[in-house]
Amino acid sequence: MGGIRDVARHAGVAPSSVTRVLNGYPNISEDLRARVMAAIEACDYKPDAVASGLRRGVTRTIGIVVSDIVNPLFAEIVEGLEERLREDGYWFVLAHSHGDPEHDVESIRLLQQRRVDGLVLSVADETQPALLDILSRLRLPVVLLDREIEGWTEASAVLSDHRPGVAQVTGDLLDAGHTRVALISGSAETRPGRERLAGFREAFMARGLSPDSDIVQTGAMSVRAGQDAAREVLSRHPRPTAIITGANLQLVGVLKTMQELGLRVGKDVALAACDDVPIASLYAPPITVVARDTRQLGREAADLLLERLGDPARPARTIHLPTHVLTRASTQTLGAPEAGPTTPVAPQQP
Amino acid sequence: MGGIRDVARHAGVAPSSVTRVLNGYPNISEDLRARVMAAIEACDYKPDAVASGLRRGVTRTIGIVVSDIVNPLFAEIVEGLEERLREDGYWFVLAHSHGDPEHDVESIRLLQQRRVDGLVLSVADETQPALLDILSRLRLPVVLLDREIEGWTEASAVLSDHRPGVAQVTGDLLDAGHTRVALISGSAETRPGRERLAGFREAFMARGLSPDSDIVQTGAMSVRAGQDAAREVLSRHPRPTAIITGANLQLVGVLKTMQELGLRVGKDVALAACDDVPIASLYAPPITVVARDTRQLGREAADLLLERLGDPARPARTIHLPTHVLTRASTQTLGAPEAGPTTPVAPQQP
DNA sequence: CTGAAAGCGCTAACAT
DNA sequence: ATGTTAGCGCTTTCAG
């Protein structure tokens, strides 16, 4: 497959004319355009995006860093991002951190070398010094996904309002008579973890109660972390009558533990989760969640990035997106909060 | 951030010497290496991968085309791929087709322009003529994910053995007394759809039965397609007593429909699915599946690609990966008394 | 062992 | 309106 020179020779024109036709420059004669198009066809010519990128100083590629694409939350965000970016002719390169903060920094460095035009980040640890270090040197538009990096205001961000959502479910549980409500959530190194904890506390304090003894925080957003945390919290005496999970993979772990222990969701222990992942609505009984529109989150992030890509002078912006509580059976069917089960029973069909 | 010339000037050496140090050439004096490294440090120099790619004719980037990253199946495959590719310093650019075959072809074209070094494809339609057309012109190593393209032997492939797996679950259901077993699966335009149908038929024929009247095939691997197909198949008289779903998103649709219709999984209708996605094992009752190691599938695909990247002369290879049936309660509790609590049944290995 | 110079394929500035 | 030329930043001959 030849280059632009071959096409030019074939059409009997200059290479620059081929470029002009390809990139829709004005003032091109119909004759030239036709000859060039024919030659492009004849040579099966495909412009080399690498060469073009080198010359233009722009790659039309965005780097995306998330912890784990298997997490449906990130998968949906990435899909939202992709849809919007692609409309504008951008592609993306994806890097996983698997929850490792150093991996995040390394990914950013390598994406920078690949000359991506912008970055969308959901870092594993906002507080890592090396992160601030590399970001502050970076001359690239950055959008943070539900993250806040202290001391760095150059980035745009899309933030979800976790606090009021979690405060509401927590409050609903307390108002329904639950006295021992546990929170299993992500660490404070990340905004959602902090905000959810804040919302949780808020609900208690608004009622003159103190939640601290039943809070369990786990750093890892993983099934195992949720499983372990649930084992710990459910072994306490008196046992909590309700659990709120803050990360969707942890929810899976909590469900597993409850199955192991023969505890029925919504009967023996009320359960609420964050993010309306498929498992939440399909579980029997369906699980109450603090939901948000993840695809929209991705789209908004893309918009934020595109606006700065189009005009680098535009200042960074922060967008807040709402959450809303979807109340389902898992927090509504509790019979006798203090009564333990005698026999293991499968969750009921609705 | 300066280029290699700045570093060279700073170190008092030639640009080519900087390259040599960076790329680990032999026969470099300690003095030169030290001076260059110091200059690199001082300039905070990061080599430009775009320029390097243009010169070398290689980008260390792989193009991956899948229908939908939100599908946990693809998410896990991509994760497996990524892990392995990254070990060898490769990155990937991801394109979604959303099930549109033309989108696949377009993505391949654009990835080719970006000069990816190889391609990993899970196309939406193997039979599309434009696909064969573009692939046969392509001078790039390609690995197919559970796909076979007739008339094109240049590609390596990783194939899952769906047929025996589906034949086994189907047979198990028939042997358990089910006479009306329905298949809700993907179209024949894609290998898994064909293989699953073949396995399904195989089980019937081995027993002197004919399955055709209860087969439902839907083209789309989507929740809605599964929902619609389940509505159709469950409205037949007599109603099927068992359903096998062939695509994991369709499973979700089938579950929704059954909830709508008030049909209990495993009680009113036995249910088996393909691929052990989280929802299958967590559902109540847990759902029997034809499982496979998706992460391994990704890793094997990466290996296949890397071996051809390392030596383009190597011939394409095809790898077969096994499936195995995980029998769970959804196919074992049919006819059980409605009242009593159901104890989860331990998965049986074949 | 190191330097000088050419060029990957494209595009933008300058010419006509 | 189109052609000519230089050069993006790096790597690779080719010299020395």
Tokens representing A153 are 């205001």
- Residue A332 pLDDT > 90: no
Max distance between CA atoms of chain B, in angstroms, equals: 87
Query: How do residues A126-161 score in pLDDT, each as one tens digit?
Result: 999 999 999 999 999 999 999 999 989 999 999 999
Query: Which has more confidence, B4 or A344?
Result: B4
User: Do A29 and A52 form a contact (C-beta atoms < 8 A)?
Assistant: no
Question: pLDDT tier at B340 (50, 70, 90 boundaries)?
Answer: very low
Residue carrying the six token digits 């922060």? A318
Contact between A243 and A174 under an 8 Å Cβ cutoff? The reply is no
Strand-pairing partners, residue B158, are B145, B319
Q: What CA–CA distance (Å, rounded) separates B318 from B262? A: 45
Q: What is the CA radius of gyration of chain A?
A: 26
Q: Which residue of A has its CA nearest to B134?
A: A44
Q: Which candidate from B82, B255, B267 shows the least CB-CB separation from A282? A: B255
Q: What are phi and psi of A292, to 5 degrees?
A: -155, 160
Provide mean pLDDT across the span B98-125.
96
CA distance linking residue B47 with residue A108, whole number of Å:
14
Report residue B207 as tokens: 């027993």
pLDDT band at A187 (very low <50, low <70, confident <90, very high): confident
Task: Answer whether A47 sits within 8 Å of B113, measured CB to CB.
Answer: yes
pLDDT at B127: 92
Question: What are the φ and ψ backbone dihedral angles of A151, each rounded to 5 degrees?
Answer: 85, 15
pLDDT at B1 over 80: no
Residue A119: its H or E element: strand A118-121
pLDDT at B120 over 90: yes
B139-148, B220-229, B318-327: which has the minimum mean pLDDT?
A: B220-229
Collect all residues of chain A within an 8 Å Cβ-Cβ radius of residue B115: 48-50
Q: Burial, B195: exposed, middle or buried (Cβ in 10 Å; 0-12, 13-18, 19+)?
A: buried
- The C-alpha atoms of residue B4 and residue B7 are separated, in whole angstroms, by 5
Q: Where residue B210 falls among pLDDT bands split at 50, 70, 90?
A: confident
A329 phi, psi to nearest 5 deg: -60, -25
pLDDT at B218 (0 to 100): 77
Q: How far apart are CA B324 and CA B331, in angstroms?
A: 15
Helix, strand, or coil here: B139? coil
pLDDT of residue A335: 53
pLDDT value of residue A188: 85
Nearest protein residue to nucleotide C4 (CA to C1' distance) is: B14
Task: Return mean pLDDT, chain A.
Answer: 91
- The predicted structure's pLDDT at residue A206: 95
Residues near A32 by beta carbon (within 8 Å), at least 6 away in sequence:
A13, A17, A21
Cross-chain residue pair A46–B265, CB shorter than 8 Å:
no
For residue A145, the surrounding DSSP H or E stretch is strand A142-145
Is the pLDDT reported for residue A11 higher than 90? yes
- Please report the pLDDT score of residue B336 as a whole number: 40
Which among A76, A79, A12 has a CA at the least distance from the CA of A42?
A12
**Average of per-residue pLDDT values in chain B:** 91
Tell me the mean pLDDT in the region B206-223.
82
Average pLDDT over residues A242-271: 93
All structural domains of chain A: 4-47 (1.10.260.40), 61-159+294-321 (3.40.50.2300), 162-292 (3.40.50.2300)
Question: What is the share, in percent, of chain A residues with pLDDT greater than 90?
Answer: 81
State the Rg of chain B over Cα. 26
Q: Please answer yes or no on whether B114 and A50 come within 8 Å at the CB atom.
A: yes
**Which bases of chain D come closer than 7 Å to a protein CB?**
1-13
Interchain CB distance below 8 Å, A48 and B278: no
How long, in residues, is chain A?
Answer: 350
Non-local (6+) Cβ contacts of A82 within 8 A are A92, A298, B69, B94, B96
B46: the nucleotide nearest its CA (via C1') is D9
Lowest mean pLDDT among A64-78, A214-228, A270-284, B101-115: A214-228
Percentage of chain B surpassing pLDDT 70? 95
Q: How far apart are CA B234 and CA B216, in angstroms?
A: 11
Element of type H or E holding B158 = strand B156-160
pLDDT band at residue B238 using 50, 70 and 90 as cut-offs: confident
Q: Which residues of A touch B94 (CB under 8 A)?
A: 82, 92, 94
Label residue A2 by pLDDT band (50, 70, 90): confident
Mean pLDDT of A175-204: 92
Residue B347, pLDDT score: 38
- A261 CB neighbours in chain B (<8 A) are none
Which of A69, A278, A283 has its CB closest to that of B78? A69
pLDDT band at B343 (very low <50, low <70, confident <90, very high): very low
Residues facing residue B274 across a β-bridge: B290
Residues in Cβ contact with A235 at an 8 Å cutoff, skipping those fewer than 6 apart: none
**Is the predicted pLDDT of residue A349 greater than 50, yes or no?**
no
The C-alpha of B198 sits at a distance from chain A's nearest C-alpha, in angstroms, of: 30
Q: Is the pLDDT of residue B216 over 90?
A: no
Task: Give the Å distances, CA to CA, from A298 to A68, A145, A294, A317.
Answer: 15, 8, 6, 15
Q: How far away is chain A from the Cα of B63, in angstroms, using its nearest Cα?
A: 10
Please state the rounded mean pLDDT for residues A48-69. 96
pLDDT classification of A334: cutoffs 50, 70, 90: low
Which carries the bigger pLDDT value, residue B49 or residue B218? Answer: B49
Q: Which of residues 60-79 of A touch strand D (CB under 7 A)?
A: none
Q: Cβ distance B57 to B116 under 8 Å?
A: no
B-chain CB neighbours of A66 within 8 Å are none
| Span CA (B113) to C1' (C4), Å | 33
Q: Which residues pair with A291 in a beta bridge?
A: A324
Question: Under an 8 A CB cutoff, do A113 and B283 touch?
Answer: no
Can you list the alpha helix ranges (DSSP code H) found in A12-90?
15-22, 30-43, 49-56, 72-87
Per-residue pLDDT band for B335 (boundaries 50, 70, 90) equals low
Which pLDDT band holds residue B334 (cuts at 50, 70, 90)? low
Share of chain A above pLDDT 70, in %: 95
Strand C nucleotides where any atom sits below 7 Å of a protein CB: 1-13
Is-contact A301 A318, C-beta < 8 A?
no
In three-state secondary structure terms, A14 is coil
Q: Distance of alpha carbon A235 from its chain centroid, rounded?
A: 32
pLDDT over threshold 50, residue B339 = no
> pLDDT band at A165, cuts 50/70/90?
very high
Strands A324-326 and A288-291: antiparallel
**Does residue B163 register a pLDDT over 50?**
yes
pLDDT at A339 over 80: no
A35 pLDDT more than 90? yes
